[in-house]
Copies of this chain bind each other. A is one copy, B any other.
Amino acid sequence: MQEVNKYFEDYNVGDSFTTAGRTITETDIVMHAMHSGDFMPHHTDAQWCATQPFKKPFAHGNMTFSISTGLCIQAEGINPHGMSYGYNKIRYPNLVFPGDTIRVKVTVKSKEDHPKHADHGLITEAKETLNQKDEVVCYAEHVVYIEKKNP
């Protein structure tokens, strides 16, 4: 990752970029179950899944979310002027199965002054994680606390 210097003023509502893709594999699902300790049968019991409408194990939403974050960071580089403030909304409207390839479309949704710190602002990014059929599999609103160049 390279350092990329961007200030509050450098972000405009509607700006958008899309990350590289990454294929989610059975290995990813097994490793996330192990690491998180989330062995819900939806993810790790293929026999039970076969009796359900979705038929086979699918990815943990939190894993899709974590990998989406990694894809964004690899695409954007390191911005020393910004810091994650949190998320205001996360939804998982479609399932991710082994073999699906995801990428993330990031759009600046809004920007506002910080209520208390005059030298910083808050940017809200809409992060849509899309699969190879362009379906949204994760939607997250990410708030970034970011320095102003000219406060």
Residues on A close to B: CB < 8 A? 1-2, 20-23, 25-28, 30-32, 34-41, 44-48, 57, 60-63, 65-67, 69-71, 73-75, 78, 84-92, 99, 101, 132
Residue of B nearest to A132 (CB): B47
Minimum C-beta distance from A143 to chain B (A):
9
Given known A-B contacts A47-B132, A89-B86, A37 and B35 have beta carbons under 8 A apart: no
Identical chains in the assembly: 6
Given known A-B contacts A65-B62, A66-B62, A22 and B44 have beta carbons under 8 A apart: yes
Minimum C-beta distance from A5 to chain B (A):
15
17 A-B residue contacts at CB 8 Å?
Answer: A1-B74, A2-B75, A22-B37, A23-B45, A25-B30, A26-B26, A28-B30, A34-B37, A35-B70, A36-B69, A37-B37, A37-B39, A37-B70, A38-B66, A38-B69, A62-B62, A85-B91
- Residue among B22, B70, B90 making CB contact with A38, cutoff 8 Å: B70
Once the chains bind, are B92 and A89 in contact (CB under 8 Å)? no
Kindly list chain B residues whose C-beta atoms are within 8 Å of the C-beta of A69: 36, 38, 60, 62
Once the chains bind, are B32 and A34 in contact (CB under 8 Å)? no
